[in-house]
């Protein structure tokens, strides 16, 4: 997961893993990431989260 950086994680804790557009993220990580907002259409990107927004969240976290 690009957000929590865990290769193996308990799906009961992190949620299912979604892979798209060369990115991999857990459902719960998407929902609880700082400043990551969901689009109104869930069919877009990762359940409504845009790949570019996920990349920005990862970049912001790396700068902290």
Tokens 């929590």 correspond to: 4
Q: Give the per-residue pLDDT at 12.
A: 92
In a domain, 43, yes or no: yes
Three-state secondary structure along the chain?
Answer: CCCCCCCCCCHHHHCCEEEECCEEEEHHHHHHCCCCCCCCCCCCCECCECHHHHHHHHHHHHHC
Average pLDDT along the chain: 91
In a domain, 2, yes or no: no
Tokens 């997961």 correspond to: 1
Phi, psi of 47 (to 5 degrees): 55, 35
Q: Give the per-residue pLDDT at 16.
A: 93
In a domain, 4, yes or no: no
In a domain, 50, yes or no: yes
Domain span at 21: 11-63
In a domain, 1, yes or no: no
Indicate the pTM of the whole model: 0.82
Q: Give the per-residue pLDDT at 61.
A: 86
In a domain, 57, yes or no: yes
- Residues in the chain predicted with pLDDT less than 70, given as ranges, are none
Number of domains making up the chain? 1
Q: Give the per-residue pLDDT at 54.
A: 94
In a domain, 26, yes or no: yes
């Amino acid at each position: 997961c690009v957000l929590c950086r865990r290769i193996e994680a308990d799906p009961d804790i992190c949620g299912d893993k979604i892979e798209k557009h060369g990115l991999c993220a857990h459902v719960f990580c998407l929902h609880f990431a700082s400043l990551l907002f969901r689009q109104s259409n869930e069919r877009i990107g990762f359940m409504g989260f845009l790949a570019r927004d996920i990349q920005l969240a990862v970049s912001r976290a790396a700068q902290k």
